[in-house]
Amino acid sequence: MTVRIVPIADSHWPLLPDIHRAAILAVSDEYYDQTARESWAFGLIPEGYKHSADDGEVFHVALDEQDQPIGFCGYRGYEMTALFVHPKHQHKGVATALYNKAIDEMLKGRPEKIVLTSSYPAVGFYEKQGFILLQEREEITRGGEFIPVFDMEAPIDRPPHEGRELDLMLAGSKKIAYFGDKDPELKFQPFVLSGRIHRYVWQERAEDLAQLIKETGQVDINPVAPVIYYLPQYEAEKNRLVALLHKHMIDGEYDEQDEREMGDLLGYPTYAVKAFLERMRAMRQN
């Protein structure tokens, strides 16, 4: 299925309520009952979206092969405010395409974090994208009923797995963890000793830093060797990461595809890889 993501046009506004309403009413009873769904879908009119746009919300729509809108997303500042796809076109990558467009646009401002409030059925989707659940709360819908919603965030100003690397690796959902400094050796030690996780000290990087420091005359600085922890079955992936890091940090060769691959090897969610690429571009421009 070919989908185009485009900025909203005047002809699209009248079609948003039907997409929005259909997506809400298709939600399973597992999440919200019929009364809650009807209350959530109540009062949707084109003017409501236009008023939101006047207040700064930016809308994009997904168009099918006939250029008909089948989904839409919205964001304001660094908050994702809407993501809905007509039920006939769900589970075909449309939501992901809309999500990626919104994330791309928000990351241009280099935010510290991106936030959103998720409905119950969408929590899993956002968690797969790397968002962290902050809290569950009740929110009143347009029809007056309260429904549970979930505040979530994607931290941009720090590694997305910070503090959770070991748990993710033990669960099998992260292959490799890289620490440029502050090696959590004691935390990982029992699993390294048992062989469940392997530890690699990138001594070559420390030696390279030592030479650079020596050349600048800063003799009182002791460089720390980065450490990589990895699951035993991913030795080849660890070696690939080291090769890419060498190319990037020691040889000084910059390639966006390499940087994207590094993010993928570290299991970073899409938003974090994109944020990393934005930072690298900014550094090279300065």
Task: Please check whether residue 76 lies inside any domain of the structure.
Answer: yes
Ordered per-residue pLDDT tens for the chain, 286 residues: 789 999 999 999 999 999 999 999 999 999 999 999 999 999 999 999 999 999 999 999 999 999 999 999 999 999 999 999 999 999 999 999 999 999 999 988 889 899 999 999 999 999 888 899 999 999 999 999 999 999 999 988 777 788 889 999 999 989 999 998 889 999 999 999 999 999 999 999 999 888 887 777 766 677 889 999 999 999 999 999 999 999 988 888 877 788 889 888 999 887 887 777 676 666 555 5
Task: Please check whether residue 50 lies inside any domain of the structure.
Answer: yes
Structural domain of residue 209, as residue ranges?
165-267
Q: How many domains does the chain have?
A: 2
> Which pTM value belongs to this model?
0.74
Tell me: do 39 and 135 sit in the same domain: yes
Task: Please check whether residue 276 lies inside any domain of the structure.
Answer: no
Task: Please check whether residue 24 lies inside any domain of the structure.
Answer: yes
Tell me: do 31 and 96 sit in the same domain: yes
pLDDT value at position 282?
64
Show which of 134, 155, 176 is a domain's final residue: 155
CA distances from 89 to 2, 34, 99, 160 (A): 11, 22, 15, 30
pLDDT value at position 220?
66
Tell me: do 171 and 81 sit in the same domain: no
Tell me: do 173 and 150 sit in the same domain: no
Tell me: do 171 and 151 sit in the same domain: no
pLDDT value at position 129?
87
Tell me: do 28 and 149 sit in the same domain: yes
pLDDT value at position 223?
84
Task: Please check whether residue 262 lies inside any domain of the structure.
Answer: yes
Tell me: do 9 and 144 sit in the same domain: yes
Task: Please check whether residue 285 lies inside any domain of the structure.
Answer: no
Tell me: do 32 and 139 sit in the same domain: yes
Tell me: do 52 and 9 sit in the same domain: yes
Tell me: do 211 and 140 sit in the same domain: no
Question: In this structure, what CATH number is given to the domain that contains residue 64?
Answer: 3.40.630.30
Show which of 127, 155, 183 is a domain's final residue: 155
Task: Please check whether residue 284 lies inside any domain of the structure.
Answer: no
Task: Please check whether residue 73 lies inside any domain of the structure.
Answer: yes
Tell me: do 125 and 238 sit in the same domain: no
